[in-house]
Structure formats: C-alpha cells, structure tokens
Amino acid sequence: MSEPMDLIYKDPKYPSSKVVNGLSMAGPRAHLRGMGLVNEELAKPFIGVINTYNEMHPGHIHLNRIGQLVKDGVREAGGVPFEVNTISLCDGFSQGHVGMCSVLPSREVIADSIEVYAGGHQLDGLVLIGGCDKIVPAMIMAALRINLPTVLVTGGPMMPAVYKGKQYGTYELKEMAGKLTRGEISREEYEYMEGLMSPTPGSCAMMGTANTMSIIAEAMGLTMPGSACAHAVSGKKNRVAKESGMAVVRLVEEDIRPRDIVTQEMLELAVRVGLSVGGSTNMTLHMPAIAHEAKLHMSLEEIGRLSAETPYLAKIKPSGSHTMLDLDQAGGVGAVMRELDGLINLDQMTVNGKTHRQNVERVVEHNPEVIRPVSDAYSDHGSITVLKGNLAPDGAVIKQSAVAAAMRRHSGPARCFECEEDAVKAIYGGAVQHGEVLVIRNEGPQGGPGMREMLTATAALVGMGFSESVALVTDGRFSGATRGPCIGHVSPETSRRGPIAIVQDGDRIDIDIDAGTLHVDLSDGEIARRLAELPPYQPKVTEGYLARYARNVEPAARGAILD
C-alpha cells in the first residue's frame, strides 16, 4: 500500500526524504519538530554545515562566526542548515614532540567523520568549513568520496605580525630561537615578539600547507572565488561564507556534484596553481590522496613533471618577502590563474555556476611584482622538485623555491639521527658542522608513526646559521614554513627498509636539485649487505588508532592514504 499523501513531505529526489517521508519516519519528524522545524521546512533541502571550529586552534577559533554566516546564506537560498562539528588539530601546537604523530593521521579521521555523518543523516548537500594543514585536504577528500553537492569555505589566513616595521609569519619565531641561543637577541626581545607573532585568527601568515591547500581548493573550483586569500578577519571572508551557503542550495537543486567539477584537467590545473605560488611539499601527500577519492590519478612523478613545466610567479614567505596579505591585495588566486591562462584551461565550471574564466575576468590585479607575469617569472620551474636516486628509489621531495643558489648542489658527510628530537638537540648544542648532511629517520607514515613535520629541526638550522651550509634528509616531512636544503618524504621509509635505514655517519650524500638526484656514495652491493643485516622492523606504537594507522597506511610516495 502506498503512503498517505499527507505523510509525503519532501520530493524523493532529496536523500533527506528518507528521513522525513512516510509512516515509519514519525520519530525523526518528531525530533525535527521538537528542534523547531515547521512543515514548510521539512520540504526543503537539508544542508550539513560541517564546521571545525575549535577553541585550541588559532586557525579555527573564528569559525563559529563563519558557520553562522554560512547558515544565513543557506536559509536565504531556501535550504535548512544543520551545523555539526568535527576535529581539527593545529600543527603549531603539535610541533617538536610526539603530538605531531597524530596530525597527518587526523586527515583520515576528519574525512571519515564527514562521510559517516552525511550518510547517517542522509543530508542533501554540504558546506565544509576548515582552514589548516590537514583539515582542508581532508574536506576535499570527503567531498569527492561522498560526492554530494558541496562547497568548501576555507578559514582564511592570519594577518601578518608587524615588528619594527617588518612583517612576520609565526614560523619565524622558531628561527628567532636560534638567534636567542646565539646571543643575537635578548630574552626580553624574544618574549616580546612572542606576544606579536599570532595577531589574529587564521591560518599562519605564510605559504604553508594550510594556505597552499586553500589555494588548491579554490583552483579546483570547490570554493567561491576569492575564498583562499580572503583573510580570516576580513569582511570579504564574511561575504564568501554567506555566498557559499547560498551556492550549495543551487548545487543541490541542479544536482551538481564535486566529481562533476573536479576532472583530471581541473586536478592538474589546481596542482599547477599551487606550484606557481611556492606551495608546500605537503601537496605531494595530499594531491595523490585527493585524486584517489575522485577516482582520478596524481602521482609524485606527475607533480614533479607539472612543477618542471609551471612558472614560479609569486614568492610568498617563507620563500620570499611577500605575505599572504600582499597576495590577496594583488588579486589572489584569480590573478594567478589569469597569468597562467594557456598553460591551464580556464573554461571549467566551479561551484558558483561560472567557469574560472568568467570568474577571473572580474579580478583586478594590483601588483605585478607580487604576482609576476609569465614573461617575468621568478623561474620557469614551480616550487617542488622530486628527487630520485639510490637513497630514495621511490622518490623524495624538496621545496626548491626556498633553497639558496649555493645549496642547489651539495655533497657532504652524513650525520644520522634516529628521531627529530636528537637532531634538534645536536643543532642547538653546537654538535653540527658546516658541510654535513643531517639524516633524520624513523619518521615516515608507518615508522613515525604519522610522518611528523621536522619544522623544529629546520627552523633550528636557519636560526643557528646553517641554512646555506648544512642539508637535511628525512623520511619525515616538512612544514610549508621550511626553507633551505631540506629533503623530505624519502621513500621507501626506514620502517619499510628503504636505503635511508642503512646510512651511517660519514657516508657521503650527494644532492643535485637541478638534476633531480639524491645519492649515497655506496655500491648496490654494500647497500644490499647492510639492508640484509638490519633487524626486523618493530613498531613504536602497538595500541590504539596510531597502531591501526601504521599497519594500514600506504607509503608517502602514494599519498599516505588508508586504502
């Protein structure tokens, strides 16, 4: 027998009709009515506003306000918003200790939590709000996996700090620790700078992973135009939030889904845009994982190829002196894409219903020094170089745009450390010598576990004056704040018995960024002999989520996905 007509509240085209239609759904309807919904609202699309507002995260502490604006936009366009929260870890709080082991694994938790909630409540569309290193890629992964009509709202950069007339990013305080150790600044000055370096909410004021992935999200067509560079405290960010809520209702009505927008060509466009602005090496982890969720492909080698073919147009801290605020005022992502027209296809649809080309036509470019034309690019190579050789048979990555010319080729004796903490202690303790290559191992996705960022170590090198004389090689990864000759993502990692596991103090390591090579001066036979003598790998963590993560995570060269 068919349902009585007066119990059909919603068009069956909406997934949420399963929640509100029919005799058997009296319980859910009672809950909805008890929360204040009226009959007319039961017929409207239900939009999940998935927020990562967090009181212990400067990049997310303002997102409750952004969430309210998104909900206002949803209601204005005729939808019913439901705001829920998921986790968001701050890399800044996790640096330099065991907490960093949890950060990359949190990407999978966030993506899974969004999938579980959207499926469990049968939502019709999503607005995903987040702004930092693992959160933005996790949300892109979730959007592509679930494939409901979705708009992302990125939280926006923090305003730069200003000290003695100069603009700073928070990461530079870590480098100041070296100057304090060397006696170049006083403790009083150092503590005064601490009070200045995180002046507003937002993602750290640099081209770190947070802003890199926000730029990539906009270039993928999954955010409203201007979202990535609209600063957290700006009126522009408020408008983007409300427009995003309005846009998702239109996407639901027109049944436009993330995989309709993110094609292989759009994926490559987004990677090129990220590379052209000096994007973080962490994109080499996130883009393969994002492609996997979209059922597309983006390998480490493909990113290296795209970088070699993409001009470097914007030199943002830490690679240069310009800030994210400069980039925004110069025209932001739209201006970058307009400069890359011809190399990328702008005739692709975005979540606001217009193509990139239509969107960038409205962009006003203000500063050709911040965003250079292709004819005057800083270089004809994007920010990342993929290195291979007998020390990294499956690849390693370096942010070549942040390396001094004198260190693009370097050869030196290895100094080996079994974890980041030991290396940091040696750097600050005066035990590191000019010309050496520091090797930090046991920090990969499996062996770490969680592939910690080595920002504390790299900042120590810069602060102690080694950025143009000492290289660093690790199976861990780096923050986008890292600068200098720092090579990460060495694959296979130590736990998988890659050659990095058998390097000994004094072995000569040869780095050639321009040639794309990373070698240890050992014969194949000697490498095989040493590997055969290694004891079996013993996991550091044997219980809980990190143990499950370590058992199932793929190598860094494949995006550290859990498949």
451, 487 contact by CB (below 8 A): no
Mean per-residue pLDDT for 98-109?
96
CA 471 and chain centroid, separation: 24
Amino acid letter, residue 358: Q
Q: Is 91 annotated as a binding residue?
A: yes
Report the alpha-carbon distance of residue 241 to residue 246 in Å, rounded: 9
Q: Is 453 annotated as a binding residue?
A: yes
Mean per-residue pLDDT for 18-39?
96
Q: What is the CA radius of gyration of the chain?
A: 24
In this structure, the strands spanning 150-154 and 161-163 are: unpaired
pLDDT band at 463 (very low <50, low <70, confident <90, very high): confident
pLDDT band at 401 (very low <50, low <70, confident <90, very high): confident
Query: Would residue 331 be called left, alpha or beta, if left means φ above 0 and alpha means ψ between -120 and 50 degrees?
Result: left
- Provide the β-strand partners of residue 507: none
Report the alpha-carbon distance of residue 554 to residue 94 in Å, rounded: 22
Q: Is 4 exposed, middle or buried (0-12, 13-18, 19+ CB in 10 A)?
A: exposed
Amino acid letter, residue 414: A
Q: What is the pLDDT of residues 307-330, one digit of tens each?
A: 999 999 999 998 899 999 999 999
Q: Is 302 annotated as a binding residue?
A: no
Strands (E) located in 261-337: none
Q: Is the pLDDT assigned to residue 480 strictly greater than 90?
A: no
Report the alpha-carbon distance of residue 563 to residue 550 in Å, rounded: 12
Verify cis geometry, omega within 30 degrees of 0, for the bond prior to 12: no
**Could you give the angle at which helices 187-194 and 172-181 cross, rounded to 10 degrees?**
170
Report the alpha-carbon distance of residue 431 to residue 411 in Å, rounded: 19
How many residues in total does the chain contain? 563
CB count within 10 Å of CB 52 equals 25
* H/E run at residue 154: strand 150-154
- Per-residue tokens: 415: 């100094």
* Euclidean distance between the first and the last CA atom of the chain, given in angstroms as a whole number: 43
In this prediction, residue 4 carries a pLDDT of 61
More confident residue, 508 or 366: 508
Q: Which of 6-15, 55-64, 281-290 has the lowest mean pLDDT?
A: 6-15
Global confidence as pTM: 0.96
> What's the mean per-residue pLDDT of the chain?
95
pLDDT band at 560 (very low <50, low <70, confident <90, very high): very high
In this prediction, residue 5 carries a pLDDT of 62
In this structure, the strands spanning 166-168 and 161-163 are: antiparallel
325, 202 contact by CB (below 8 A): no
Listed residue (441, 397, 429) closest to 540, CA to CA: 441
Q: What is the pLDDT of residues 213-237, one digit of tens each?
A: 999 999 999 999 999 999 999 999 9
In this prediction, residue 2 carries a pLDDT of 59
300, 557 contact by CB (below 8 A): yes
Spell out the residues 6+ positions from residue 437 whose beta carbon is closer than 8 angstroms to its own.
410, 412, 413, 414, 415, 470, 471, 472, 473, 509, 511
Spell out the residues 6+ positions from residue 37 whose beta carbon is closer than 8 angstroms to its own.
80
Q: What is the pLDDT of residues 71-92, one digit of tens each?
A: 999 999 999 999 999 999 999 8
In this structure, the strands spanning 392-399 and 486-491 are: antiparallel
In this prediction, residue 120 carries a pLDDT of 97
**Could you give the angle at which helices 332-339 and 209-219 cross, rounded to 10 degrees?**
60
Distances (CA, A) of 104 to 110, 187, 252, 508: 10, 33, 31, 31
Report the alpha-carbon distance of residue 459 to residue 266 in Å, rounded: 35
In this prediction, residue 563 carries a pLDDT of 77
Backbone angles phi, psi at 2, to 5 degrees: -70, 160
CB count within 10 Å of CB 344 equals 24
pLDDT band at 391 (very low <50, low <70, confident <90, very high): very high
Dihedral in degrees, nearest 10, Cα atoms 334, 227, 344, 556: 140
- Per-residue tokens: 277: 């602005």
Backbone angles phi, psi at 487, to 5 degrees: -110, 125
Q: Is the pLDDT assigned to residue 1 strictly greater than 60?
A: no
DSSP secondary structure code for residue 555 in this structure: P
pLDDT band at 176 (very low <50, low <70, confident <90, very high): confident
Distances (CA, A) of 461 to 181, 227, 404, 448, 477: 12, 34, 14, 21, 15
Q: Is 133 annotated as a binding residue?
A: yes
Q: Is 238 exposed, middle or buried (0-12, 13-18, 19+ CB in 10 A)?
A: middle
Q: Which residues are catalytic?
A: 479
In this prediction, residue 65 carries a pLDDT of 98
Backbone angles phi, psi at 363, to 5 degrees: -80, 135
At which residue do the structure tokens 């995260």 appear?
57
In this prediction, residue 365 carries a pLDDT of 80
Distances (CA, A) of 362 to 219, 353, 389: 16, 15, 46
Report the alpha-carbon distance of residue 222 to residue 273 in Å, rounded: 14
Give the 3-state secondary structure of residue 308. helix
Distances (CA, A) of 23 to 2, 7, 8, 190: 10, 7, 9, 67
Q: In what order do the strands lie in the sheet with 150-154?
A: 80-85, 46-51, 125-130, 150-154
Query: Which domains occur in the chain, in start order?
Result: 36-157+202-375 (no CATH), 386-558 (3.50.30.80)
